[in-house]
């Protein structure tokens, strides 16, 4: 059985240096990633939604918590949960749900500032982070809280307001800051410098992005989002298409 206290302490200390945290949505994936040698795993709402034939951001809190429980029970590695926007508008609701995630066994929890196609007012978003921090602290203060700003994903691709939001989330208690969509070296460097010494998580979103480049820019954590799940889906579709057209499967599937 996983020693959660030690796992949480270990996960928090991992942010003192650069590491890659891949995202998984099922037990088979998480065990494979552990076998490959990764030191921690993140969940992915996009991957889980796709596996259910649904769009991202369509999951309920109960569905997400059940997936978190399943994955946390399946590995000795620390698990960081993609908890979308906390599944509540008000800070008290976010706090209550964050506590449920903590009790499900997470070592890290990511909270977004997005509501549909827009962002919460920055003061409201910071209050939601503060409530999540307070709830996690009641379970274990070593649980890593990740404050996400989704500006780039809703079309606001200006690094300056993103930085200001991340500063507010850091002040509210976020341990790690995460601006998904920020991808140019200049913008990444600006985020890293403005938020130092807080660790920055960057999502790899282009084929020319690499762990080596992000580490050199001062990033501490690189995540994959739903892209591993997308890679599996593309391979499945390609194999199925070949089976239908040619009656054969790719040679690599036979080992």
pLDDT in tens, 124-176: 999 999 999 999 999 999 999 999 999 999 999 999 999 999 999 999 999 99
pLDDT tens-digit series, residues 199-224: 999 999 999 999 999 999 999 999 99
Is the pLDDT at 98 greater than 80, yes or no? yes
Cα dist. 93→42, 64, 207, 226 in Å? 23, 15, 38, 26
Q: Between 112 and 232, where is the model more confident?
A: 112
Give the separation between CA 38 and CA 40, rounded to whole angstroms: 6
Asked if residue 193 has pLDDT above 80, the reply is yes
**Region 100-105: what's the mean pLDDT?**
98
Residues 41-61, mean pLDDT to the nearest whole number: 89
Cis peptide before 197 (omega within 30 of 0): yes
In angstroms, rounded to a whole number, what is the distance separating the alpha carbons of residues 80 and 71? 10
Closest CA to 42 of 71, 70, 18: 71
Average pLDDT over residues 186-197: 98
CATH class label, 4-226: alpha beta
Which is higher by pLDDT, 79 or 233? 79
- Sequence ranges of the domains in the chain: 4-226
Binned at pLDDT 50, 70 and 90, residue 235 comes out as very high
Give 1's pLDDT tier (boundaries 50, 70, 90).
low
Q: Across-strand partners of 24?
A: 43
Residues in the chain: 255
**Residue showing tokens 């040679």:** 251
């Amino acid at each position: 059985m996983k020693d959660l206290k030690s796992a949480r302490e270990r996960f928090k200390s991992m942010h003192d240096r650069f590491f890659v945290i891949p995202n998984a949505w099922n037990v088979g994936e998480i065990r494979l990633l552990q076998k490959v040698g990764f030191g921690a795993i993140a969940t992915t709402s996009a991957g889980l939604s796709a596996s259910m034939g649904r769009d991202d951001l369509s999951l309920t809190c109960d569905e997400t918590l059940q997936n978190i429980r399943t994955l946390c029970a399946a590995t000795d590695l620390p698990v960081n949960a993609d908890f979308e926007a906390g599944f509540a508008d008000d800070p008290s609701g976010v706090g209550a749900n964050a506590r449920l995630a903590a009790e499900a066994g997470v070592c890290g929890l990511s909270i977004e500032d997005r509501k549909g196609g827009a962002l919460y007012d920055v003061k409201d978003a910071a209050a939601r982070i503060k409530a999540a921090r307070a709830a996690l602290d009641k379970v274990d203060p070593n649980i890593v809280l990740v404050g996400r700003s989704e500006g780039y994903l809703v079309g606001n691709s200006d690094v300056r307001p993103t930085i200001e939001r991340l500063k507010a989330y850091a002040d509210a208690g976020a341990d790690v800051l995460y601006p998904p969509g920020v991808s140019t070296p200049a913008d990444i460097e600006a985020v890293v410098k403005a938020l130092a010494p807080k660790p920055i998580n960057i999502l790899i979103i282009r084929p020319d992005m690499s762990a080596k480049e992000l580490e050199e820019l001062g990033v501490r954590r690189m995540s994959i989002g739903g892209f591993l799940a997308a890679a599996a889906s593309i391979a499945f579709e390609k194999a199925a298409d070949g089976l239908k057209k040619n009656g054969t499967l790719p040679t690599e599937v036979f080992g």
